[in-house]
Amino acid sequence: MRVIVADDAVLFREGMARILTEVGFDVTGQARNGTELIRLVRRGAPDVVITDLRMPPDFADEGIEAAAEIRSFAPNVGVMLLSQHVEVHHALRLMDEFDGAVGYLLKDRVSDLRAFAADVRRVAAGHVVIDQELVSRLVSRRRERDPLAELTDRELQVLALMAQGLTNAALAEELFVSVKTVEGYIRSVFTKLGLQPGEREHRRVLAVLQFLRQQ
Amino acid sequence: MSAALESRKPSTEAPTTALDIGLGIVALLVAMLVGYGWFLGFHVDNAHNGLIAASFSAVGLYVVRMRPRHREGWLFVAVGAVHAVMFFGRQYGHAEGVLPAASWIGWLGVWPLPLAIALTGWTFMAFPHGRMLSPAWRRAGLAMLAVAALMATMSALWPVDHDRIGMVSPHPLELSGSETAARLWPYLLPSYALFQVLWTAAVVVRLRRARGDEARQMRWLVYATVMAMVLLVAGLAVLRSPVPGALVVPLIPVAAGIAIQKYRLYDIDPVINKTLVIGSLVLVVTTGYVALVVGVGSLIPAGTGWLSLLATAVVAVAFEPLRRRAQILADRLVYGHRATPYEALSRLSAQLDEAPEELLDGIAATVANAVGATEVVVWVGEEARLLPQAGWPHPPEPSEPSRLGELDRGAHRHVRPVVHRGTVRGAITLRKPAGEALTTTEVRLLSDLVAQTGLVIAQQQQAQELQAAARRIVSAQDAARRRIERDLHDGAQQRLVTMGLELGSLAEQAQASGGPELAARVKEVRAQLLETTADLRELARGLHPMVLTQAGLDTALRMLADRSAIPVRLTVAIPGRLSREIEVTAYYIVSEALTNAARHSGADVVTVEVARVVEGLRVGVSDDGCGGARRRHGSGLEGLADRVAAVGARLTVDSPVGGGTRIRTVLPCA
């Protein structure tokens, strides 16, 4: 699987390229900023790009901007965004603007090499990955009238994993149950919360995140 | 001083020798007629004629000598001359023992009377320039003269007025028709009263319309006339004699003369003011005294000694409040709506307590009120760079900086530099109505106000400097926080993450090379490392929220609400981005308030409302917790208050024990 990595910190970038190679990725390029990343992708589209969110020149959200442009000319390239902080508004934007094949993780996650590699592959396969810290922050928020109180522990677990972008199959695997059982949980969650299940995966994530963000 | 005035007179008005000789002759004639008249004896009924003759002639001749073209001067001379002739005629006719030609000379003292009255009336109507107010008034004056001429003719032909005046010598003519004339005469006599109504009306109308110098001149005349009237009435009422009234008649022409010639030198207003105060006090005190003594005396048949004592005491006690009332009333009457110096200064010091940015507007209004200006502008800056900062009746137009010396451009503009500790700090410019100069009182009051303005400007500049310093400190602090956050992000955080990555890789290798213990230890170290990075992440976010810079206040507040330990009801209504300073300030208010609420309040919900309103950005955070939040030294609330003050706003903290906490402010947006 071909990967291009982009980060302005050279040690981190090279370290990541090395471990990705160790676990079987083909790192076809390294970029120091968004512009370079776009140029590299134009030269030869990889299956997925892994990019820092905050890069030169302004250290704002150059990673997302670059990803959006890549999506416009190479719609099949998966995008994994890494950041020191994960913020809800960024996650919502990614779910809203990108038609799937997008991930948003804390940089810390690269230290669990296997999990990270799996997440990158899911993104490359067109799925959605949202950092669990962001999701657990939203799920554990105190609310004035908490609709989540009506969910069973298992349903809550399903909700959190759905928000992280897991597919029904992945959910079943994670929970050691059948896909049919998972579908039952999901129906129950959506009914209790009054949510409309989206047709597409990233739509479902968006709906859940938006719901979790409400008061 | 008069020499200075004379030197400024145009040469065309310089007296010529011929004029001097003519005036000398008139003066001599009047002096002879009046002098010889007095020599012939004293008759109360004639005395006023003599006084009028002498005073009007003297004043008229003086005015004409100084300003030969001054019509009013010539009118005065005419009035004086007519009265001199009449006075002499009457004195001659009244003389003891019949003098030669007494009936003819006495006749001269009678028949010109209507003309003398009409001429005097005309003189008053034409005061102070010798011209009538309008063609209509001129026609009325001419009608008066015509009636007077008719009456004088009748009086000259028949003895219709001789008996009324009590002339001793008989009428020199014995023409037929005297009975008819005598029947008609009573119908014409009320004309005298009409003449007086006419000229009084003219003077009142002119007084009301007059502005500036003319108003000041009119006040001299009216003051003297009213005083003469009061003394006449008082004399008649108390002494049953017209003598006091007659004796002060010369006051009128003298006052009129001052008004014509020297009105700029003397300010009549304080004199009128004092007279009104003293007059009304004398009246009130006397009335009170009499009422008390007579009233109580009639009820209690006791000695009047202690009654007088009591009355005196009561009047004395009542005196001070009465005096104050009378003073206020007199101020109103004399200065109209203009404030007294005391009023102006006390109003100003009351304004000193108000918001500093409105102080200069207050000063402009006070100055306008105190000196009756039509426009006042307060300038602030250095001598060579003055900018208009406040104004009355409307704020000044923004303009280029001006030099102090350039400020007196434009008509009727007075400039007063504002000097504080030897340095020009600003200026006050004001416009008076056309033709109106600053009176001595106004000049004094203005210099007092200007001195106060110096203090205000200095204080305001200090306040501005303080605020600017606070602002610099806060923004330097923010810049430092941003820099540290950036350094952490690019340095320590980045390195820790890289180390985590390497540890992860090591753990994999250890696992693969058959060292599960080593792998477990490496994973343990990695876990600790991840905790450290999490701590560092929170620290960095607390230092400066990158979201605020990237996405703006709306998103940043949303993020605060997402992370709040207490449920937040958030309402944000901001169209677009605001200045960094305001965004950061609003963010910290909400952040600090949420932290405090989570730590201390025990609230169930916090309501956050942030909205752009006309006055700026309104920020309000309220919770339903236990309240009792205090702005203790070194507390977060104090830091917030300082931060808010640095952008020129004020933080309101309302936190009654048991009643929740409300934090509010409106941050000014440029």
ipTM given for this complex: 0.91
Only one residue has tokens 């719609």, namely A75
Specify the pLDDT at position A67: 96
Mean pLDDT of B18-43: 85
Chain A hits for B502, Cβ within 8 Å: 15
Specify the pLDDT at position B637: 87
Mean pLDDT of B583-601: 92
Mutate which: A32, A55, A58, A87, vs B, most B CBs within 10 A: A87
Mutate which: A27, A90, A111, A141, vs B, most B CBs within 10 A: A111
Q: How confident is the model at residue B501 (pLDDT cuts 50, 70, 90)?
A: very high
Specify the pLDDT at position B239: 79
Q: Does A213 touch chain B (CB under 8 A)?
A: yes
Chain A hits for B507, Cβ within 8 Å: 113
Q: Is the confidence at residue B350, as pLDDT, over 80?
A: no
Q: How far is B524 from chain A (nearest CA, A)?
A: 12
Q: Does B534 touch chain A (CB under 8 A)?
A: yes
B window 234-273, beta carbon within 8 A of A: none
For chain B, how big is the Rg over CA atoms in Å? 44
Question: In terms of residues, how long is chain A?
Answer: 215
The torsion angles phi and psi of B659, rounded to 5 degrees, stand at -120, 20
Between residues A47 and B166, the one the model is more confident about = A47
Specify the pLDDT at position B5: 39
Q: How far is A181 from chain B (nearest CA, A)?
A: 32
Of A89, A112, A138, the CB nearest to B504: A112
Q: How far is A65 from chain B (nearest CA, A)?
A: 13
Of A12, A84, A142, the CB nearest to B566: A142
Of B490, B504, B567, the CB nearest to A144: B567
Give, for B498, the enclosing helix (H) or strand (E).
helix B492-512
Q: Is the peptide bond before B393 cis (omega within 30 degrees of 0)?
A: yes
Of B505, B533, B537, the CB nearest to A113: B505
Q: Are B505 and A18 in contact (CB under 8 A)?
A: yes
Residue B360, token pair as written in the block? 């200069």
The torsion angles phi and psi of B666, rounded to 5 degrees, stand at -125, 115
Which of A24-38, B340-354, B637-651 is modeled with the greatest confidence? A24-38
| 3 state SS of B119 | helix
Q: Is the confidence at residue B270, as pLDDT, over 70?
A: no
Specify the pLDDT at position A19: 92
For chain A, how big is the Rg over CA atoms in Å? 17
Q: Is the confidence at residue B186, as pLDDT, over 50?
A: yes
Cα gap B350→B364, rounded to integer Å: 14
Specify the pLDDT at position A164: 93
Cα gap B561→B102, rounded to integer Å: 116
Mean pLDDT of B136-157: 91
Q: How confident is the model at residue B484 (pLDDT cuts 50, 70, 90)?
A: very high
Chain A hits for B533, Cβ within 8 Å: 108
Q: How confident is the model at residue B67 (pLDDT cuts 50, 70, 90)?
A: confident
Mutate which: B494, B601, B608, vs A, most A CBs within 10 A: B494
Are residues A141 and B508, on separate chains, in Cβ contact within 8 Å?
Answer: no
Mean pLDDT of B553-561: 93
- Among chain A residues, the shortest Cα distance to B496 is held by A108
Q: What is the 3-state secondary structure (H, E, C) of B423-485?
A: EEEEEEEEECCCCCCCCHHHHHHHHHHHHHHHHHHHHHHHHHHHHHHHHHHHHHHHHHHHHHH
Q: Does B550 touch chain A (CB under 8 A)?
A: yes
Q: Does B563 touch chain A (CB under 8 A)?
A: yes
Are residues B569 and A144, on separate chains, in Cβ contact within 8 Å?
Answer: yes
Mutate which: B483, B494, B497, vs A, most A CBs within 10 A: B497
Q: How confident is the model at residue B4 (pLDDT cuts 50, 70, 90)?
A: very low
Specify the pLDDT at position A21: 94
Strand partners, B621: B608, B663
DSSP, residue by residue, A81-107: EEESS--HHHHHHHHHHS-S-EEEEEG
Q: How confident is the model at residue B393 (pLDDT cuts 50, 70, 90)?
A: confident
Q: Are A66 and A95 in contact (CB under 8 A)?
A: no
Helices A168-175, A153-163: axis angle to 10 degrees equals 130
Specify the pLDDT at position B11: 40
Q: Where are the beta strands (DSSP E) in B46-190?
A: none
Q: Is the peptide bond before B417 cis (omega within 30 degrees of 0)?
A: no
Specify the pLDDT at position A12: 93
- The parts of chain A modelled with pLDDT lower than 50 are none
Helices B113-126, B71-94: axis angle to 10 degrees equals 160
Residue B633, token pair as written in the block? 């030294």
Between residues B617 and B454, the one the model is more confident about = B617
Of B490, B550, B568, the CB nearest to A61: B550
Q: How confident is the model at residue B262 (pLDDT cuts 50, 70, 90)?
A: low
Across chain B, mean pLDDT equals 83
A window 108-127, beta carbon within 8 A of B: 108, 110-114
Q: Is the confidence at residue B572, as pLDDT, over 60?
A: yes
| 3 state SS of B630 | coil
Cα gap B79→B442, rounded to integer Å: 37
For B574-586, write each residue's pLDDT tens digit: 988 999 999 999 9
Among the ranges given (A20-34, B27-41, B66-80, B343-357), the one the predictor scored with the smallest mean pLDDT: B343-357
Q: Does B529 touch chain A (CB under 8 A)?
A: yes
Which of B107-121, B311-325, B603-617 is modeled with the greatest confidence? B603-617
Q: Is the confidence at residue B30, as pLDDT, over 80?
A: yes
| 3 state SS of A26 | strand
CA distances in angstroms from B78 to B22, B200, B464, B655, listed in the order given: 14, 20, 68, 86
A window 70-109, beta carbon within 8 A of B: 84-85, 87-89, 107-108
Chain A hits for B537, Cβ within 8 Å: 84-85
Of B530, B550, B605, the CB nearest to A111: B530
Of B486, B559, B565, the CB nearest to A88: B559
Instruction: Name the pairing type of β-strands A128-130 and A102-106.
Output: parallel
A window 42-71, beta carbon within 8 A of B: 54, 59-61
Mean pLDDT of B238-244: 78
Chain B hits for A114, Cβ within 8 Å: 508
Q: How confident is the model at residue B1 (pLDDT cuts 50, 70, 90)?
A: very low
